Each structure stands twice: as C-alpha cells, then as structure tokens.
Amino acid sequence: MLSALSTFLPPLLLLLLWTPLTPTAHGHQPDEQFHEELVVRPLAGDHVNTYFQFTTRWHYGDRNNLFHTQLTPRVIAEILQTYDVKELHISLTQGLWRYESWGYPIVDATGGAELWAWFSASNLTNDAVNKQWMQLANVFSGVLCSSLNFVDNTNSIAPRHIFRPQFMHHAGENGKQFVRYATLPREIVCTENLTPWKKLLPCGSASGLATLLNSGFVHNTKYHSLGVKVRTLCDHDDDNNCIVELTQTANLVYDLKLLEQSNTDFSLRRLFGMGLNGYCELATSSRIYAQRSEQGERFQLVPPPAFNVSSIRGGHRVSYGVYDIQQQFEAAAPDATRLFNIAWIGEKSAGGGRRLAVSALNLPPLYAHRYLLGNGQKRGRIATEIRNTHYEDLPVVLLELVPWYVHAYLHTLRIRNKAQQRREYATDVNDELPFKLLHYAPGKQRELPTHLEIGFVLPAKSSAMITIEVDYLLLKWLEYPPDANHGHYIGAAVISTQLPMGRNYSALPPEAHLFKDSFNASRPSYTLTLRTEALIVSLPTPDFSMPYNVICLACTVVALAFGPIHSVATKLMIVERQTTMPRNLLRKLIHKLKSRWGSKKEEATSVQETATDEKQQQQHEEKEAEQQESVICNEQKQANM
C-alpha cells in the first residue's frame, strides 16, 4: 500500500515545497535562487561563442540546513558536509581556445579535465587533505561520468602562487588553507558528461536554456567546455551565516562554416537545432545577452532585444542586447506553442554582398603558446612562449605541472626575452629575465610530479621564451597504456597576470556570481588566467609484439635451416641419364635387360675406382636415407639396385 502511494508522494511533496518559493509570494528575496544566462558573442573568422551559465545560490546559513536541499543538488550539499572543501573548480573541455583571434573566454579551461579545490578547516593536516582530495575526485568521477578517479598524488600538486582563494570563511577560523590542482589532458568529453552535468540543474534538461544543449549540436563545435564551480561564502563575523554558490558553465565555439550555410547569418535554431521552449520555472531570472559590436552594427537581431545594456569596464565598452525569457513567454499568448528563436542577420554592406566578416579583434594584451623542442625519444625541451602586446610591463606567474615520467632539470630553466620587432631571442645569459618568484618541487619517479612556478615581469611589447630541458623515462612494461604509441600528455601550463585595463576581458569579478555583475565592473586591475596547449610526448615505447615476433622469426629460421642441412647430411645426390623407353614390347624387354646389365657394370667400375671401405660406408648411408626419407623417388631406388 505504502509503496504504491510512495510513487505519488514525492511530486506532491515537491509541489508543496516549491509553491512558496516563488519570489512574488514574499517581500524579501528567497534564500535560494537559480539564474540562467546565455551570452552569445560573434567572434572573428565566422565563429560564434555561446556561453551558458547556470547559477544556484543558496544562503543556507547554518551547516545543519545542508540536509534539506531544494534547488542545489544533494551531492553538492553532501560534499560540503563530508569534506572540508570550500571551493572547487572542475572543467571538461574538448578543443583549444584561440586567444589570438577570439580574445579571452569568460571562463578559461584547458583541454581534457582540470580540477582544483581549496580546503580549509581548523586542525586540517596535509595528509587529510590529500585523502579528501582523492575522495572528492572519485565522487565527481561518478557524478560527471568521467575518469577523474585517476587523480592521485602522482599527478596532483599544491600550487603556491597562481591560484588565490575565491571563498570566504569565518574570521575566527584560523585554519590553514590548502589547495590541490590536477589535470587529465587525455580525458574525452562527450554526451556521457553532458547528460549528468545537465542533471545537476534544478530543471534538468526539461525546460529552460538547458534544452538548447543537445548532444548533436554541442559536440560538433570547435571548442566545448563544461564547467562546475562550487564555493562557499561565510560571514567573517558569523560562522553560521553561509552561502553556497554552484555555477555550471558551458562554453561553446561554433564554426559557422561547418554549419553548412552560405552566409554568416545564424540563429539559435541554427546553432542548437531547435528554438527555446520556455524558461525554467524555478529560475529567478532567465536571460539571453547578445553582444553587439563596438564598431558599428554588424548584425541585426530579429526579434529585437527587450533592451540594450552598455557596459564600460576598464575603459572598454561593450553593449549587449538583452532578452528576458520570462517576460517573453509571459507576454506571449498562453496557448502559444511556437519556439522562441533569435536570428542574427548580417547587415548588408555597401557592395551588396551578404557576407560581412567579423573583423579580427586587436591582439589580446597577453597570450601564450607552448611546444616541444628537440628530437628523439630520449630528451627534449619544453618551451613556453608568452607575448605581451601591451604598452606596459606585465607581471606574469607561470605554473608548470610536469608528470613524473618526464624528468625536468631546474638548472636548465631559462627565460629569454625579445622585443616585439626582433626575430630571434637573445642568446646571451645576461639578457635573460630575472625571476621574481621561483617555487620548485622536484618530481619523484612514480610518486610525485614536478611542480614549477615562476614569476617574472614581462617588459612591454616583448615576448618571453621559458625553456626547461627534460628527459623522457623508459617506463615499466605494465605502465604503458593500451595505446602506448599514441604518446603521453604533459598538461597545459597555467599563466596568470594582472591586466591594467579591460580590453578583451570578460571574466566575472571574483565576488560576483552572475554574468550581469560583470557589467560596469571597473576595477583598478583585472586578474587574467589563461592556459597553453597541452603537449604530447612520445616516450621510448618498446615494440610489444617483439617477443612474439622473435619466436616466430627464430622458429622460421630454424625450420628453414634444418630441412636443407638435414637432407644434405643424409641424402646422396645421383645424376641419372634420361632414357626413353621404346614402345615395342620386345625392345622394351631388351632395353630393361640392357639397363640392368649396364648398372651392374657401373657398380663394378665404381668398385674398381673407389676403396672398398668407402663404398660400404656409402651403401650404408644410402640405406639409412632410404629408411628415413619417404620421398625418395623411384629412379633413385632403381639406381641403388
């Protein structure tokens, strides 16, 4: 009886719980809010960047309240209860963000999986953090269907300078803060990650902006990155007054040329395969921001946005057309079933041509590339090139995480510098840039990765080449992955800097949680984090089929050699004259007799010619050969007779 009823109860309970949550019912803001935002930015080279951000913010207050989750997924509340984690970032990315042509992303991520977390509590020890870190990775490997369980001490480090905490904790809590960072560059991102990621949303993929994220239209992009960020913010004065923020991001870059169309027009339907069917009923706000151009209109928006917002940030002006989806659908007739669509239609240029390319942005102030130098499978050099196109010096921090199977030598670390107009880097040691910061934790085979963090000031309009020499290790047989010849990855380097102005900069301010909070958020400086390419090294890889090949080859050689040697040693070669048999019966008889007599005569002559003992030995051998070899032909037998 109960079981039958229990199927009806949860929706009933949910209904009861949800009803009072709507903001209109109360004077004050509800403690738990959910916001969905979509930013569409046309990029240079017929690319379009779409950035989804789903933010759940829960002012839960007391830790005990974490037992009763509503909009926040239960798993997030549980990890806050179980572990001392205060801030967590996970990203799953496929593709490479092209800083030079696309500018800076709203949220930066490296290819594959990347995660870092801050832990803080009183009496927390380093070992306890290591343990919690691995357990946390295991939890999210299940939650996001990824192989994050491969995170362990052999690929995790505790960055010293590059990451700063973005959480707040009680002032009286004088516990130490611990950070852990790991990347899995080989990790694949596909629908199996998108599905559970969508399930963390209050509305799932049933309604709201998340309905636009369909696997077929997410994985045909040039770059796609899923992100999960969790952080807690506790009042400095009151430990029982806390907020948990869960920010889920999906950052996609579409190549319009791949969408098989003749012009640069695009629409939501074109990008995502379908229009918008509504908004998530649990959302406090549900908005789409369409970035307008700074230098004259390139696209006409159909339908026109509800209003425009202009943002000046760090001397950089950006305007957005804003669509409030809740208003849009409430204004529409209640029985309207049409899907909401926004089209970006290119303005006709003077020449009448439809195609009007989005001009390339000015080069961003700082960007970087990384590559491997040297040849062979024994040693090489990791080179990271950072370019400063700004007219001021920029402070730069670089984080390198070199896996244990690549051995880096600190004494070979060089930061060479060249002015923008120069072609070659200076080779003189005196011209090298000095370190301002250096943190180096040497790697240990099969135990620890090499952790290198360097800070230096990159002069204006110049670039720096950071090189370090490495040796590639020969792994043990079972340490090679099944596809050993694919190569091994070295994760991306993380670069952090402080920009004095906001050109190309679109990241959220650290204390904000919505995209709209970045409007007019001018600050004295902007912290920028970017990632380089991941590297792939081909370690010396043995030929795993070698033992099999050796056995096959050796056996073939032995077999080939044995046959002829054996027959040479045991058979007698005799040359026989070819005779033709006459047809007449009588003549045949005569011929046979003749031949018989002839052979006897031959034997007699051989007796005369050779020594008697020799002949006996020969005859003995012949008999043996007859017994052993079944393939002796008739003529030979005749001859022996």
Partner 1 sequence: MQNTKMTVKQNMLLKGIVLCIIFIAGCAADHTTLPESFVNAAQQSTHTNNWAVLVDASRFWFNYRHVANVLSIYRSVKRLGIPDSQIILMIADDMACNARNPRPGQVYNNANQHINVYGDDVEVDYRGYEVTVENFVRLLTGRTQNGTARSKKLLSDAGSNVLIYLTGHGGDGFLKFQDSEEITSQELADGIQQMWEKKRYNELFFMVDTCQAASLYEKFTSPNVLAVASSLVGEDSLSHHVDPSIGVYMIDRYTYYALEFLEKVQPFSKRTIGEFLQVCPKRVCISTVGVRKDLYRRDPHKVPITDFFGAIRPTRVSTERINVTLANEEDFVNDVANVQPKKEFKIIMEPQFTAELLK
Q: What does the alpha-carbon distance between residue 403 and residue 422 come to, in Å, rounded to a whole number?
A: 34
Alpha helices (H) along 57-118: 74-82, 99-102
- Tell the burial category of 34 from Cβ atoms under 10 Å away from its Cβ (0-12, 13-18, 19+): buried
Q: What does the alpha-carbon distance between residue 218 and residue 222 come to, in Å, rounded to a whole number?
A: 9
Classified as helix, coil or strand, 413 is strand
Applying CB under 8 A, among 80, 90, 106, 189 the residue interacting with partner 1 is: 189
DSSP state of 282: T
The reply on whether position 522 binds partner 1 by CB under 8 A is no
Applying CB under 8 A, among 63, 98, 219, 222 the residue interacting with partner 1 is: 219
Q: Give helix 612-628 / helix 546-570 axis angle, nearest 10°.
A: 130
Applying CB under 8 A, among 64, 82, 122, 191 the residue interacting with partner 1 is: 191
Nearest Cα residue to 251 out of 54, 101, 118, 73: 54
Sign for the pseudo-dihedral over CA of 190, 192, 193, 199 = positive
The reply on whether position 239 binds partner 1 by CB under 8 A is no
The DSSP annotation for 431-490 comes to GSPPPSEEEEE--BTTTB-EEEEEEEEEPTTEEEEEEEEEEEPPPPGGGS-TTGGG-EEE
- Tell the burial category of 3 from Cβ atoms under 10 Å away from its Cβ (0-12, 13-18, 19+): exposed
CB of 361 to partner 1, least distance (A): 24
Applying CB under 8 A, among 527, 538, 541, 599 the residue interacting with partner 1 is: 527
The reply on whether position 350 binds partner 1 by CB under 8 A is no
Q: For residues 440 and 544, which CB has a smaller minimum distance to partner 1 in the complex? A: 544
Residue 354 — φ and ψ, nearest 5°?
A: -75, -30
**258 in the Ramachandran plot: left (φ > 0), alpha (ψ -120 to 50) or beta?**
alpha
CB of 316 to partner 1, least distance (A): 19
Q: For residues 160 and 298, which CB has a smaller minimum distance to partner 1 in the complex? A: 160
Instruction: State the number of binding residues for partner 1 (CB under 8 A).
Output: 75
Q: Are 110 and 183 in contact (CB under 8 A)?
A: yes
Residue ranges in 406-435 that form contacts with partner 1 under rule CB under 8 A: none
Residue ranges in 491-520 that form contacts with partner 1 under rule CB under 8 A: 496-498, 510-511
Joined tokens for residue 570: 């045991």
Q: Are 32 and 59 in contact (CB under 8 A)?
A: yes
Which among 12-20, 312-320, 355-363, 385-393 is the span making contact with partner 1, rule CB under 8 A?
Answer: 12-20
End-to-end CA distance of the chain: 104
Q: For residues 147 and 311, which CB has a smaller minimum distance to partner 1 in the complex? A: 147
Q: For residues 145 and 632, which CB has a smaller minimum distance to partner 1 in the complex? A: 145
Q: Are 183 and 87 in contact (CB under 8 A)?
A: no
Which among 38-46, 163-171, 276-284, 409-417 is the span making contact with partner 1, rule CB under 8 A?
Answer: 163-171
Site string for partner 1, 356-395 (x = CB under 8 A): ---------------------------------------x
Residue ranges in 136-155 that form contacts with partner 1 under rule CB under 8 A: 138-139, 141-143, 145-147, 149-150
Strands (E) in 158-203, as ranges, are: 177-184
- Tell the burial category of 557 from Cβ atoms under 10 Å away from its Cβ (0-12, 13-18, 19+): exposed
- Rounded to the nearest angstrom, the gap between the alpha carbon of residue 446 and the centroid of all alpha carbons in its chain is 22
Site string for partner 1, 27-66 (x = CB under 8 A): -xx-x---------------------------x-x-----
Q: For residues 142 and 172, which CB has a smaller minimum distance to partner 1 in the complex? A: 142
Classified as helix, coil or strand, 40 is strand
Which among 236-244, 302-310, 339-347, 590-598 is the span making contact with partner 1, rule CB under 8 A?
Answer: 236-244
Q: For residues 517 and 635, which CB has a smaller minimum distance to partner 1 in the complex? A: 517
Applying CB under 8 A, among 154, 220, 541, 640 the residue interacting with partner 1 is: 220
Residue ranges in 169-188 that form contacts with partner 1 under rule CB under 8 A: 186-188
Q: For residues 65 and 538, which CB has a smaller minimum distance to partner 1 in the complex? A: 65
**Most distant CA pair in the chain: distance in Å?**
135
Q: For residues 61 and 487, which CB has a smaller minimum distance to partner 1 in the complex? A: 61
Q: What does the alpha-carbon distance between residue 413 and residue 131 come to, in Å, rounded to a whole number?
A: 32
Which among 77-85, 235-243, 311-319, 556-564 is the span making contact with partner 1, rule CB under 8 A?
Answer: 235-243
Residue 302 — φ and ψ, nearest 5°?
A: -125, 120
Applying CB under 8 A, among 96, 128, 363, 437 the residue interacting with partner 1 is: 437
Applying CB under 8 A, among 20, 352, 434, 564 the residue interacting with partner 1 is: 20
Applying CB under 8 A, among 124, 168, 312, 625 the residue interacting with partner 1 is: 168
Q: For residues 231 and 571, which CB has a smaller minimum distance to partner 1 in the complex? A: 231
Q: Which residues pair with 458 in a beta bridge?
A: 394
Which among 281-289, 479-487, 572-580, 599-607 is the span making contact with partner 1, rule CB under 8 A?
Answer: 479-487
Residues in the chain: 641
Residue labelled with tokens 């973005």: 166
CB of 94 to partner 1, least distance (A): 7
The reply on whether position 452 binds partner 1 by CB under 8 A is no
Site string for partner 1, 551-590 (x = CB under 8 A): ----------------------------------------
Residue ranges in 63-122 that form contacts with partner 1 under rule CB under 8 A: 94
Q: What does the alpha-carbon distance between residue 406 and residue 473 come to, in Å, rounded to a whole number?
A: 6
CB of 3 to partner 1, least distance (A): 6
